[in-house]
Chain A
Amino acid sequence: MNAIVTNEGLPTSEPVTQREVLLKVDNVSLSFGGVKAITDISLDIQKGEIRAIIGPNGAGKTSMLNVINGFYHPQEGTITWRGEERRKMKPYEAASQGIARTFQNVALFKGMTTLDNIMSGRSLKMKKNFFWQLLWRGPAEQEEIEHRRRVEDIIDFLEIQAIRKTPVGKLPYGLQKRVELGRALAMEPELLLLDEPMAGMNLEEKEDMSRFILDVNQEFGTTIALIEHDMGVVMDLSDRVVVLDYGKKIADGPPEEVQASQAVIDAYLGVSH
Chain B
Amino acid sequence: MFYREAGQFKTSYQSDQAMFPILQDRIGMAVILAVAFIVVPLTANDFFLTSIMIPFLVFSLAAIGLNVLTGFCGQLSLGTGAFMGVGAYAAYKLTTIFPDVNVVLFVLISGFFSAGIGAIFGLPSLRIKGLYLAVTTLAAQFFLEWCFIRIPWLYNDNASGAIEVPKREMFGVIVSGAEATPLARYFVVLGITVFIAFLIANVLRGRIGRSWMMIRDMDIAAELMGIRPLQTKLMAFAVSSYICGVAGAMMVFFWLNAAEPSSYSINLSFQILFMVILGGLGSLSGAFLGAAFIWILPVMLKFIPSAIGLEIGAETVEHLTFMVVGGLIIFFLIVEPHGFARLWQIAKQKLRVWPFPY
Which residues of A come within 8 Å of B, CB atoms? 69, 71, 90-92, 94-96, 100-101, 103, 107-112, 116, 119-121, 123-124, 126, 128, 130, 133-136, 140-141, 143-145, 148-149, 152, 183, 187
Contacts and interface: CB of A to CB of B under 8 A. Distances in A.
A109 B221 contact: yes
A273 B211 CA distance: 54
Interface in B228-266: 228-229, 235
A269 to B, nearest CB: 35
B218 A109 contact: yes
B341 to A, nearest CB: 12
B214 A123 contact: yes
B13 A96 contact: no
17 contacts: A91-B220, A92-B224, A95-B225, A107-B221, A109-B222, A120-B210, A120-B214, A123-B225, A124-B226, A130-B203, A133-B202, A136-B205, A136-B206, A140-B206, A143-B207, A144-B207, A187-B225
B213 A116 contact: yes
Nearest to B218: A107
A102 to B, nearest CB: 9
Given A108-B218, A110-B217, A110-B218, A133 B224 contact: no
B225 A120 contact: yes
A121 B202 contact: no
A108 B225 CA distance: 11
A95 B218 contact: no
Nearest to A95: B226
B103 to A, nearest CB: 23
Given A92-B226, A128-B207, 19 more contacts: A69-B224, A92-B228, A101-B224, A108-B221, A109-B221, A110-B218, A112-B210, A121-B225, A123-B210, A123-B211, A123-B227, A124-B225, A130-B235, A134-B202, A144-B13, A145-B12, A149-B13, A152-B13, A187-B226
Contact of B202 (A69, A103, A135): A135
Nearest to A124: B226
A101 to B, nearest CB: 6
Given A123-B207, A136-B206, A107 B220 contact: yes
Contacts of B13: 144-145, 148-149, 152
Interface residues of B, number: 31
A94 B224 CA distance: 8
A145 B224 contact: no
A136 B202 contact: yes
Contacts of A141: 14
B225 A100 contact: yes
Nearest to A193: B224
A245 B209 CA distance: 43
B212 to A, nearest CB: 11
Q: Taking chain A's interface residues, is the majority helix, strand, or loop, or is none over half, making it mixed?
A: helix
A3 B153 CA distance: 64
Given A90-B223, A109-B213, A183-B225, A126 B207 contact: yes
A95 B213 contact: no
Nearest to B207: A126
> Which 7 residue pairs are nearest across A and B when measured between Cβ atoms?
A109-B217, A95-B226, A136-B202, A124-B226, A107-B221, A126-B207, A133-B206
Contact of A103 (B14, B217, B221): B221
B167 interface: no
Nearest to A141: B14
B79 interface: no
Contacts of A148: 13, 17
Given A109-B218, A133-B208, A144 B17 contact: yes
B307 interface: no
A143 B217 CA distance: 24
B308 interface: no
A145 B225 CA distance: 20
B199 interface: yes
A111 B226 contact: no
A227 to B, nearest CB: 15
A92 B223 contact: yes
B210 A119 contact: yes
Interface string B2-36: 00000000001110010000000000000000000
A112 B217 contact: yes
Contacts of B218: 107-110
A133 B203 contact: yes
B320 to A, nearest CB: 38
A195 to B, nearest CB: 11
Contacts of A143: 207
B64 to A, nearest CB: 14
B118 interface: no
Contact of A123 (B203, B226, B229, B235): B226
Nearest to A145: B13
Nearest to B72: A111
B31 to A, nearest CB: 23
Contacts of A124: 225-226
B260 to A, nearest CB: 34
A111 B209 CA distance: 13
Given A110-B218, A112-B210, A140-B206, A145 B223 contact: no
Contacts of A109: 213-214, 216-218, 221-222
Given A111-B213, A148-B17, A71 B206 contact: no
